[in-house]
Structure 1
Amino acid sequence: MPGIDECLLEAMRLPGARGAAVVDWTSGLALGAVGDSPGGDHETAAAEAAELARLAAEHRAFAPEDGPGLSPAEPPVEDLIISNRDSYHLLRFVATSFDSSVFLHLWLTRAEGNLALARIRLGEMAGRLVLE
């Protein structure tokens, strides 16, 4: 089972990957980062992405409608996709044994990136990621 560094290196092998980070959305801190960062600073990018993640995770409008309540180890949102003129940002929530306040942030160029493939692979990575 891969840890943070292995997961980030795997994410950077995706076509069009510019940068990747594992972020704690409650604190806004990057637990690990690799490659370029939007705006040039990994910590600022992590804090700004964490704000989006918190909004999505804490509002009932984005929670699943069916089934029983979610356990603390299950994030209410699978992922967020933000697109702009030249890139995509994927935020994939990671289920953990504790409070599930972690997500993977992948920054892709639109010209070379494959959004569908990246989404599938991030989901697989999130399922295998081991946080200690």
Structure 2
Amino acid sequence: MSSIEAALKDAMAIDGAIGAAIVDADSGMALGTLGATSDLDLNLAAAGSTDLVRATRRGLDLLGLHDQALEDTLTTLTRQYHLIRPLTRPGGRGLFLYLVLDRARANLAMARHHARRIDAELEI
């Protein structure tokens, strides 16, 4: 099992990782952050990504996709990937992992696989 701090360190071990956060989807507050650059305020990005999570969930509700679970959400920028993975572990409901990856260095499939593993091992 893994703590938030250990999960963030694990996330930063992903090739191309620039920053990582564990975020409360209700409040938009980051429970922990690691990494980032002068161009990226992880606390602000975490709060903004909360709006994306809420909008995606509303969209799924409107479509009646109640039997579908949101696995992850990807925003693709010219130089970055922003990956959001809602946490599914007991105690992690309402939280999500937010990853910012350098698009030139990241392998998106491996990053998604790694995020799934972090979710499976995280204990809140």
Do they superpose with TM above 0.5?
yes
Aligned to 2:104: 111
Match of 1:93 among 74, 86, 89: 86
Query: 1:102 aligned to 2:95?
Result: yes
1:65 Cα deviation (Å)? Answer: 4.4
Runs of 4+ in 1 over 4 A off after TM superposition: none
| Number of equivalenced pairs | 122
- Deviation of 1:58 after TM superposition, in Å, equals 3.4
The one-letter code matched in structure 2 to 1:4 is I
Q: Which amino acid aligns with 1:14?
A: I
2:20 aligned counterpart, secondary structure: strand
Taking structure 1 as reference, are residues 46 and 87 closer, same or farther at Cα in structure 2, changes over 3 Å only? same
Change (3 A) 1:99 1:117: closer
Contact map agreement 2:91 2:123 (CA 8 A) in 1: no
User: For residue 110 of structure 1, what is the amino acid of its counterpart?
Assistant: R
- Amino acid aligned to 1:120: H
Determine whether 1:63 maps to 2:57.
no
1:57 CA displacement: 2.4
Structure 1 position 39, deviation (Å): 4.6
Gaps of 5+ in 2: none
- For normalisation by structure 1, the TM-score amounts to 0.84
Q: CA RMSD in A?
A: 2.0
Aligned partners of 1:98 and 1:41: how far apart in 2? 26
Shift of 1:44: 1.1
Larger RCO, structures 1/2 (Cα 8 Å, 6+ apart) = 2
Give 5+ residue unaligned stretches, structure 1.
67-75
**Superposition pairs of residues 114-129 of structure 1, within 5 angstroms:** 114-129=107-122
Q: Identity percentage over the alignment?
A: 34
Does structure 1 residue 12 correspond to structure 2 residue 12? Answer: yes
